[in-house]
Structure 1
């Protein structure tokens, strides 16, 4: 199928999933790498408490919060403060 025909079908809301080879699909910049981080007991207790409240795992809450903080830092660095 040509790209223009694919685009027309997609834009029309047609199902184009049969036209895709998902066996070779990759998510850019999503490769996983294991790291070890030591946390004090009080911090783990608070992380676990918040994770239970949100219904996610400890690992998920750490990833979510780190991601949010990194995005915030990146957006803050886009426009340096004026003096």
Structure 2
């Protein structure tokens, strides 16, 4: 199927999921890269406490807080 045909189906509100390969799907500008960061123990305990309170993993708290701070700076 040509891109133009796919665009037309999408614009009409048709289900186009059968034409997509989700195994190869990417989110431009959102590729992940692993980094290692060392935190003091008191910080880990505080992060874990807040993560438990919110019912999310520690990593989620870290990513959300860093993203919020970076948005403030831009």
Unaligned runs of 5+ in 1: 75-83
Shift of 1:46: 1.5
The SS at the match of 2:39 is coil
- CA distance in 2 between counterparts of 1:67 and 1:46 reads 18
Alignment of 1:2-21 (within 5 A): 2-21=2-21
C-alpha displacement of 1:33: 1.6
Task: Please report how far the alpha carbon of residue 38 of structure 1 lies from its aligned counterpart in structure 2 after TM superposition.
Answer: 2.4
TM-score by length of 2: 0.76
Q: Which runs of 5+ in 2 are unaligned?
A: none
CA distance in 1, matches of 2:64, 2:72: 12
Aligned-residue Cα RMSD (Å) equals 1.8
In the alignment, does 2:58 pair up with 1:50?
no
Larger Rg: 1 or 2?
1
Matched position secondary structure for 2:26: coil
Segments ≥4 residues shifted beyond 6 Å: none
Once the two structures are superposed, the pairs formed by residues 1-83 of structure 1 within 5 Å of their partners are 1-29=1-29, 30-35=31-36, 37-74=37-74
- Structure 2: how far apart are the matches of 1:59 and 1:73? 21
